């Protein structure tokens, strides 16, 4: 694979993949927060 | 008799006779690393063993990295098989509190912006003629995360391990020097003085317990090549949050982390043999590594500015600079800079959220990169 294709693929898939993964994870974290809210007594 | 004495004496000076200019330069470099660690307090836990390892390996005829050498034994024990960085990660997980990021999950995205430097630097390294896998390992300096850089480099470009590790750890310790001018340059006075409301949302224990499990499974499914990195950091965090294995948690963050740090440092220093290290390429790697961390800061602050605009001025863009892996140093830098311009501004907890996001972000970026490479059939 030539360097140009490699570089562009890494930029698009790598950068895009990182943002997408962290975005999904932040959604999951929000969901966890909603499903299991903080309750003083329980803690 | 005389001949035997002369031969014996010659044995005592053979080290001096084999001394090359490269060894002398490497002594200076090792000495500089020791000076940075001891006198300037820059990452001393790593720079001291790295500096000493660098001096050791460059003493002629010692053959410490030879087949039977003790530095080779340590190197094979935990660097070539990637064990040491993973053990360090268990300790990092055990030390990290993900509470701030769990109470404000949007700050997790700042941890993504803080990784852009990796990919831009990778492209730059390619354009400078580095082979593809070497470019990947140079880019990973931008993760601002020593263990991740070592994990990737020891696997795919071990010949660059010394330069990449020294760059990663040195620049990490220089975050308080590198970041502030960029943060000032990228933000207006109005943005810098933004006061963010105190974080009042508390996180339940169940959420804190489920977080490492969910992130491990999810991250592992998306980027399986990076599962060792993600799995170990989350194992450490699960142990900490569970509260039932205090002995293991303490051992991970103290004894294990300390012993491994010593072995890791000295074996990285051992890769800095003059012949391999003293090349123009090393200087380019150090320059690219510096650029990577600057770019991380630029992209993080830019993303902070986007959040500032989207939130109608409620998010201080300075916390964007904390979206890197240098934990908790980058968060403290954001807090200090915020306070400099507005005494009523307390950014620490928000910046800690971004910083914890950066911690996971750097691991995810490396994991995604490895999985993309695997998908492309390169590794």
Give per-residue pLDDT as tens, B33-48. 999 999 988 889 989 9
Q: Looking at chain B, which residue has its C-alpha nearest residue A2?
A: B132
How far is B222 from chain A, CA to nearest CA, in Å? 7
> What string of pLDDT tens digits covers the 379 residues of chain B?
888 998 888 888 989 999 999 999 999 999 999 999 999 888 899 899 999 999 999 999 998 999 889 999 999 999 989 899 999 999 999 999 999 889 989 888 899 999 999 999 999 999 999 999 999 999 999 988 999 999 999 999 999 999 999 899 888 888 998 999 999 999 999 999 999 988 778 899 999 999 999 999 999 999 999 999 999 999 999 999 999 999 999 999 999 999 999 999 999 999 999 988 999 999 999 999 999 999 999 999 999 999 999 999 999 999 999 999 888 889 999 999 999 999 999 999 999 999 999 999 999 999 999 999 999 999 8
Complex ipTM tops 0.90: yes
How far is B28 from chain A, CA to nearest CA, in Å? 36
Note the residue count of chain B: 379
Residue B58 lies in a domain: yes
Chain B neighbors of A36, CB-CB under 8 A: 204, 206-207, 210
Residue B5 lies in a domain: no
Residue B10 lies in a domain: no
Helices B227-242 and B83-95 sit at what angle, rounded to 10 degrees?
Answer: 30
Answer whether A22 sits within 8 Å of B210, measured CB to CB.
no
The 10s digit of each residue's pLDDT in B262-296 is 999 999 999 999 988 999 999 999 999 999 999 99
Residue B7 lies in a domain: no
| Contact A6/B at CB under 8 A | yes
> Count of domains in chain B?
1
Residue B308 lies in a domain: yes
Answer whether A23 sits within 8 Å of B112, measured CB to CB.
yes
Structure tokens at B32: 């500089």
Q: Could you say which of B102, B120, B127 has the minimum Cβ distance to residue A29?
A: B102
Residue B25: exposed, middle, or buried by beta-carbon count in 10 A (0-12, 13-18, 19+)? middle
Residue B11 lies in a domain: no
How far apart (Å, rounded) are the C-alpha atoms in residues B265 and B161?
A: 12
Chain A neighbors of B127, CB-CB under 8 A: 3, 7
Determine contact, residues B342/B99, Cβ cutoff 8 Å: no
Answer whether B203 sits within 8 Å of A13, measured CB to CB.
no
Which residue pairs from B19-25 have beta carbons closer than 8 angstroms and sit at least 24 positions apart in sequence? B19/B60, B20/B60, B20/B274, B22/B58, B22/B274, B22/B275, B22/B278, B23/B58, B23/B59, B23/B60, B23/B274, B25/B274, B25/B278
Answer whether B210 sits within 8 Å of A32, measured CB to CB.
yes
Chain B neighbors of A43, CB-CB under 8 A: 202, 204-205
Spatial neighbors of B106 by CB under 8 A, at least 6 apart, are A26, B307
Determine contact, residues B46/B146, Cβ cutoff 8 Å: yes
Predicted TM-score (pTM) of this structure: 0.91
| Contact A1/B at CB under 8 A | yes
Answer whether A3 sits within 8 Å of B203, measured CB to CB.
no
Averaged over A5-20, what is the pLDDT?
94
How far apart (Å, rounded) are the C-alpha atoms in residues B362 and B379?
A: 20
How far apart (Å, rounded) are the C-alpha atoms in residues B151 and B164?
A: 11
The 10s digit of each residue's pLDDT in B195-221 is 998 877 889 999 999 999 999 999 999
Structure tokens at A26: 């932040």
Residue B8 lies in a domain: no
Nearest to B53 by CA among B272, B331, B212: B272
Chain B neighbors of A42, CB-CB under 8 A: 204-205
How far is B246 from chain A, CA to nearest CA, in Å? 19
Determine contact, residues B125/B60, Cβ cutoff 8 Å: no
How far is A14 from chain B, CA to nearest CA, in Å? 5
Q: B367: part of which helix (H) or strand (E)?
A: helix B348-375
Q: Which of 13-42 (A) contact B at CB < 8 A?
A: 13-15, 17-19, 21-30, 32-33, 36-39, 42
Rounded to whole angstroms, what are the CA distances from B59 to B13, B79, B159?
13, 22, 20
How far is B206 from chain A, CA to nearest CA, in Å? 6
How far is A5 from chain B, CA to nearest CA, in Å? 11
Range of the domain at B320: 21-375
| Contact A12/B at CB under 8 A | no
Residue B315 lies in a domain: yes
Chain A neighbors of B122, CB-CB under 8 A: 7, 10-11, 14
């Amino acid at each position: 694979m030539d360097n140009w294709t490699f570089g562009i693929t890494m930029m698009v898939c790598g950068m895009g993949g990182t943002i997408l993964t962290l975005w999904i994870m932040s959604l999951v974290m929000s969901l966890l927060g909603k499903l299991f809210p903080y309750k003083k007594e329980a803690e | 008799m005389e001949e035997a004495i002369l031969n014996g004496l010659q044995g005592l000076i053979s080290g001096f006779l084999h001394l090359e200019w490269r060894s002398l330069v490497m002594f200076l470099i090792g000495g500089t690393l020791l000076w940075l660690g001891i006198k300037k307090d820059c990452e001393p836990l790593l720079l001291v063993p790295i500096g000493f390892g660098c001096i050791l390996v460059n003493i002629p005829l010692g053959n410490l990295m030879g087949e039977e050498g003790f530095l080779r034994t340590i190197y094979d024990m935990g660097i070539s098989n990637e064990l040491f960085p993973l053990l360090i990660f268990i300790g990092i997980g055990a030390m990290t509190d993900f509470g701030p990021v769990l109470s404000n999950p949007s700050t997790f995205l700042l941890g993504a912006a803080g990784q852009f430097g990796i990919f831009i630097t990778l492209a730059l390294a390619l354009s400078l003629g580095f082979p593809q896998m070497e470019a990947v390992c140079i880019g990973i300096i931008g993760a601002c995360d020593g263990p991740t850089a070592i994990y990737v480099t020891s696997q795919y470009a071990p010949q660059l391990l010394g330069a990449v590790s020294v760059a990663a750890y040195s620049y990490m310790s220089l975050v308080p020097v590198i970041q502030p001018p960029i943060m000032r340059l990228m933000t207006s006075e109005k943005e810098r003085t933004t006061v963010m409301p105190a974080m009042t949302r508390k996180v339940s224990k169940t959420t804190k317990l489920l977080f490492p499990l969910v992130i491990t499974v999810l991250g592992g499914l998306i980027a399986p090549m990076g599962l060792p990195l993600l799995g170990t950091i989350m194992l450490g965090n699960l142990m900490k949050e569970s509260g039932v294995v205090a002995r293991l948690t303490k051992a991970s963050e103290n004894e294990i982390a300390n012993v491994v740090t010593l072995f890791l440092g000295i074996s990285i220093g051992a890769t800095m043999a003059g012949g391999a290290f003293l090349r123009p390429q090393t200087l380019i790697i150090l320059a690219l590594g510096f650029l990577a961390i600057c770019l991380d800061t630029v992209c993080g602050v830019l993303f902070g500015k986007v959040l500032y605009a989207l939130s109608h001025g409620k998010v201080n863009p300075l916390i964007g600079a904390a979206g890197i892996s240098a934990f908790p140093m980058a968060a403290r830098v954001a807090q200090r800079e915020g306070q400099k311009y507005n005494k009523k501004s307390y950014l620490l907890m928000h910046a800690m959220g971004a910083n914890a996001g950066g911690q996971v972000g750097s691991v995810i970026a490396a994991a995604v990169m490895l999985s993309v490479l695997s998908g492309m059939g390169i590794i």
